[in-house]
Amino acid sequence: MLAAGRGERMRPLTDARPKPLLSVGGKPLIVHHLEALARAGVREAVVNLSWLGHMIPAALGECCAGVHLSYSDEGPVALETGGGIFRVLEWLGPEPFLVVNGDVWTDFEFARLSLDAGALARIVLVPNPSQHPRGDFSFDGQNVGEDEGRRFTYSGMGLYRPELFSGCMPGRFPLLPLLRRAIATRQLRGLIHTGRWHDIGTPERLAALDAELLAEA
């Protein structure tokens, strides 16, 4: 679970608490994810920490929603998506592992994700939201690409093999160059989620989703 970001666009809300602990629908964003992971049979998760990171284990403890939690404290400067994952590869073991951004909300069922033998990763793609109309990647029904034409937005969720990080060194680096390397060898698969997905990028989006979920409760 990627939970180390500063959440600059969410200020002033994130001046006092890390973004994954912001409440939506009566519970923190990160708890929604942990409940969904538990439904998919996940029993252990690693949460990376940086900005106000001490608040997350204080809020969640060693277990939440039936998922046992370990924490990777990256210190005052977050290691970005790639560096944060690479730092905990030894903890994750040799099998494929799920990665989830702690600052999105979705009804995606994680049990849908699987990997074939020839793939290094499968990422979840969603229709482009209004704030990101061009999207990130193309998709041909199996492989993710960077072609023009119909494109989709990376949701911040995926299933990865440790081999995706082959040749990496400790430190700060993004995940995107590794995804592009897998695209070049046709080893990046995709899956389209047409259900609900929200990138909680502004206080206004957070408030709108909160009102929506509370109205459904």
CATH number at residue 91: 3.90.550.10
- Asked whether residue 113 is assigned to any structural domain, the reply reads yes
Q: Is residue 146, in this structure, part of any structural domain at all? A: yes
β-strands 104-106, 121-126: how paired? Answer: unpaired
Amino acid residing at 8: E
| Tokens read off for 97 | 């592992």
Q: How far apart are CA 79 and CA 5, in angstroms?
A: 9
Position 211 in a domain? yes
What pLDDT is recorded for position 126?
A: 97
Q: Which domain holds residue 55?
A: 8-216
Query: What is the per-residue pLDDT for 87?
Result: 96
Phi, psi of 187 (to 5 degrees): -120, 15
pLDDT for 13 equals 82
Domain count of the fold of the chain:
1
Q: Please tell me the predicted confidence (pLDDT) of residue 43.
A: 94
The CA dihedral of 106, 119, 128, 105, to the nearest 10 degrees, is 10
Residue 2: how many other CB atoms lie within 10 Å: 21
In a domain, 189, yes or no: yes
Over residues 155-183, the pLDDT tens digits come to: 999 999 999 999 999 999 999 999 999 99
Q: Is residue 30 part of a domain?
A: yes
pLDDT at 6 over 90: no
Least confident piece of the model among 106-110, 114-118, 130-134, 172-176: 130-134
Say if 2 falls within a structural domain.
no
Judged against a pLDDT cut of 90, whether residue 7 lies above it is answered with no
Give a yes or no: residue 1 inside a domain.
no
pLDDT score of 128: 95
Task: Render pLDDT for 20-60 as a digit per residue (tens, 0 to 9).
Answer: 999 999 999 999 999 999 999 999 999 999 989 899 999 99
Answer for the pair 201, 19: CB distance below 8 angstroms, yes or no: no
pLDDT category at 15 given cuts 50, 70, 90 is confident
In a domain, 177, yes or no: yes
Position 12 pLDDT exceeds 90: no
